Structure 1
Amino acid sequence: MKNISIFGSTGSIGSNAVKILLNQKNDFNVVVLTGGKNLKELAKQSILLKPKHIVISDHELLGDLKELLIGHDFDITGGKEALLNAASIPVDVSLQSIIGFAGVECSLIAAKHSRILALANKESLVCAGLLLKQICRDNNTALVPVDSEHSAIFQCLNGENIKTVERIILTGSGGPFLNTKLKDLLNITPNQASNHPKWNMGKRISIDSASMFNKAMELIEANELFDIEASKIEVLIHPQSIIHSMVGFNDGSIIAQLGPADMKGAIGFAINYPNRTELQVERLDFTKIKQLDFVSVDHIKFPSINLAIQAIELGGLAGTAFNAAKEQALDAFLEGKISFLDMYKFVEFALTEYTNNKTDNYTLISEVISQDSHTRSVVLKAIEGLIND
């Protein structure tokens, strides 16, 4: 039986992981569950899975959570320090699915104290990939991606020599605005942007998908995770979301990973690695798949991909600047302060600002946090300036 911790158990990834664990009660012992603001869901999960430790990231909600779990023998704590302490508890598998930069420190600590780091937090690689990979090497921790695309690539590369890889093809659904004209994107609302045609995800990641910032982050992530230069990574729109990604080799062959549009596939693969186990997911019926479509990315409509390539080429902490600007711009869009298209402008602005204050190398998490804070401050001022003009 494996000991497992789930960070971000009430989010989209975490909730799907809980469903898997409920079907694999004889395979896993849940040590830690952590959540954000969804107290009722965290309490419900805790009663079902009986973790030893429960952490609520917002310390102010700690009392309310304890009240919901009166009569149960759990170690219940709250706040950032409690999260980091929980990440240092030794386990076999640590699933890191906290959304955003807030999950980076937890991932870095968990990498030191787990045999398998099942990573769903993109920002850990985008912002601190150099540190995370070194920690995994030093501690002999297997870094297994949970993003469906990177899980697909990971599986396609199994047993292959990385030197024979000619290209990696990252697929994406294209989101809700694949066929929307550029001029019509100006007045898009957050509700429209969060209505994903294929995947059932949280609001923030759905909007990132609509803007293709999600795919841009995945490009940087693939560059870090597989040590493949940006020039060998292609992004291809695949509306059916059946082929999750592909790897092309120097003999002209291509290996693809296919499956239903269900995150339980990638989650189940990661937490059970290196084994596979039966999952309650839909089975593909190829007789019902009439066609598979592929479309090139419209870089004028979706400049996020080229911005990601720019961040990779800049190196250093450019990924941190990219993500910080993206998160601040998304906050402003959700608050109605800027338009959908303005988000790209502020990320471009942040990369230009980073170019003038570039950090070539970093060795400490404090440097990553400092860059994140600096970029957020600069972008926030720029957003306020736009509003006040």
Structure 2
Amino acid sequence: MTRSLTILGATGSVGSQALDLVARNPGRWRVEALTAGSDVVRLAEAARACGARFAAVADAGKGQALKEALAGSGIESGAGPEAVVEAAARDAEIVITAIVGAAGLPPTMAAVRRGAQIGIANKETLVCAGPVVTAAAKAHGATLLPVDSEHNAIFQVFPHDDPAQVERVILTASGGPFRSRSREAMRGVSVADACKHPTWSMGAKISIDSATLMNKGLELIEAGQLFPVSVDQLGVIIHPQSVIHSMVEYNDGSVLAQLGSPDMRIPIAYAMGWPERIATPAQRLDFAAVAQLSFEKPDLERFPCLALAWAAMRAGGSAPCILNAANEIAVAAFIEGQAGFLDIDAIVAETLAMVPSGRVETLEEVVAVDATARDVARGLVRRRAA
């Protein structure tokens, strides 16, 4: 049976791998819409290759270029944030949300409000507006399927019919490229250094978040929204081999884990095909070659971003949104050479201290908090640059 599919963020790492699965499984999906941030050339190429009906670029200034790149194809096009929301609102059964950052929130909500099956690869959606998104999903009958390898692993081994059986949910983390470095040794690292992830191939933003362990902090907050567990039931363990993607410990002492090679096409395929499983070209695990699986506790002193995320999760309300907004600004400043690697956690901590957190109940309130936190974080970046 052919199912309709929309991919938000089609030119990024997750979006590209989702399109690879589409190409490998002809007839399984009909692509309704694709979106990208500003890469018109790759978006047009992808739309033509998969026969998408609609393509949208978030950069409003690139609308004419996209229209010209699609000339003669019969593919409709749009430009600007509202066009990306339009793509999400179009009638597709499955929507993969792979837009990086808080920009993915409005289009994800558009898909939620029409009751779509949503593969969430944009963790910021649930970090910034978890209660708003999950309440909307329940009200409109949308299904939220996690694409992050860790949450997808948990989803696969979680007792959805009886969550009371669960004692702990344990997220694994590779530890990133600086796992064994002292904090002082991280002071002068470059963007290229931070992007050298030991096991996963990802974009710059998520690679840097992995290097600071903020990525794991955001995933903790997201897990608290996706699964009916308390903050005290969530934990993190460093697992450098990235073979065990996460675990669920039951009240009888049993621990169920999902294992696999570090290939994002496995969780992407799970979200795109659910409730069926789809064959992927991912390398199969050779346990003899893996030989050893090791684990260690995360060091919150060397990697304070994880501690900041724990604190924001416990504070609740708008604190996670403030955390995420400040982190996005700080990481962008690091990439642009306006801040050092160790400035990232400092900017996030100062922003959390300066922006009051409170209850958020609507998307508009989330957007307002996000904007305020970004303004404060930008000011802190400028102060450091001066």
TM-score range, shorter chain: over 0.9
Counterpart CA distance in 2 for 1:376 and 1:179 is: 31
> Alpha-carbon deviations, 1:48-76, whole Å to 9, x = none?
11111110111211222222222210111
Q: Could you say which residue in structure 2 is the equivalent of 1:220?
A: 221
- One-letter amino acid of the structure 1 residue matched with residue 93 of structure 2: D
Of 375, 378, 381 in structure 2, the residue corresponding to residue 380 of structure 1 is 378
Q: Could you say which residue in structure 2 is the equivalent of 1:208?
A: 209
Aligned-pair distance for 1:208?
0.8
SS in 1 for 2:93: strand
Higher mean alpha-carbon deviation, 221-230 vs 253-262, is at 221-230
Aligned residues of 1:94 and 1:114 also touching (Cα < 8 A): no
Counterpart CA distance in 1 for 2:267 and 2:168 is: 22
Aligned-pair distance for 1:382?
1.9
SS in 2 for 1:55: strand
Aligned-pair distance for 1:312?
1.1
Q: Could you say which residue in structure 2 is the equivalent of 1:371?
A: 369
Counterpart CA distance in 2 for 1:160 and 1:179 is: 40
Counterpart CA distance in 2 for 1:374 and 1:55 is: 28
Aligned-pair distance for 1:114?
4.1
- One-letter amino acid of the structure 2 residue matched with residue 370 of structure 1: A
- One-letter amino acid of the structure 2 residue matched with residue 294 of structure 1: F
Give the unaligned 5+ runs of structure 1. Answer: none
Q: Could you say which residue in structure 2 is the equivalent of 1:132?
A: 133
Aligned-pair distance for 1:206?
0.6
SS in 2 for 1:76: strand
1:81 aligns with 2:82: yes
SS in 2 for 1:296: coil
Counterpart CA distance in 2 for 1:119 and 1:192 is: 28
SS in 1 for 2:7: strand
Counterpart CA distance in 1 for 2:67 and 2:92 is: 24
Assess, with a 3 A threshold, how the Cα gap between structure 1 residues 339 and 330 changes in structure 2: closer, same or farther: same
> Alpha-carbon deviations, 1:61-119, whole Å to 9, x = none?
12222222222101111111111122111221011000001001111111122431110
Q: Could you say which residue in structure 2 is the equivalent of 1:39?
A: 40
Q: How does 1:321-332 map to 2 (within 5 A)?
A: 321-332=322-333
Aligned residues, how many?
385
1:243 aligns with 2:241: no
Work out the percentage of aligned pairs sharing the same amino acid: 37
SS in 1 for 2:116: strand
Higher mean alpha-carbon deviation, 121-130 vs 281-290, is at 281-290
Aligned-pair distance for 1:159?
5.0
- One-letter amino acid of the structure 2 residue matched with residue 358 of structure 1: S
Of 360, 365, 379 in structure 2, the residue corresponding to residue 362 of structure 1 is 360
Q: Could you say which residue in structure 2 is the equivalent of 1:193?
A: 194
Q: Could you say which residue in structure 1 is the equivalent of 2:157?
A: 156
Q: Could you say which residue in structure 1 is the equivalent of 2:301?
A: 300
Counterpart CA distance in 2 for 1:324 and 1:227 is: 25
Q: Could you say which residue in structure 1 is the equivalent of 2:31?
A: 30
SS in 2 for 1:295: coil
Aligned-pair distance for 1:353?
2.0
Q: Could you say which residue in structure 1 is the equivalent of 2:171?
A: 170
Q: How does 1:86-125 map to 2 (within 5 A)?
A: 86-125=87-126
Aligned-pair distance for 1:157?
0.6
Aligned residues of 1:153 and 1:247 also touching (Cα < 8 A): yes
Aligned-pair distance for 1:366?
0.8
SS in 2 for 1:169: strand
Aligned residues of 1:235 and 1:297 also touching (Cα < 8 A): yes
SS in 2 for 1:94: strand
> Alpha-carbon deviations, 1:172-221, whole Å to 9, x = none?
11111011121110101111101111111111111111111111100111
Counterpart CA distance in 1 for 2:45 and 2:261 is: 28
SS in 2 for 1:117: strand
> Alpha-carbon deviations, 1:267-320, whole Å to 9, x = none?
000011111121121111112221001011011110111111110111111111
Higher mean alpha-carbon deviation, 361-370 vs 154-163, is at 154-163
TM-score where L is the length of structure 1: 0.97
Counterpart CA distance in 2 for 1:174 and 1:387 is: 29
Higher mean alpha-carbon deviation, 120-129 vs 82-91, is at 82-91
Q: CA RMSD in A?
A: 1.2
Higher mean alpha-carbon deviation, 148-157 vs 61-70, is at 61-70
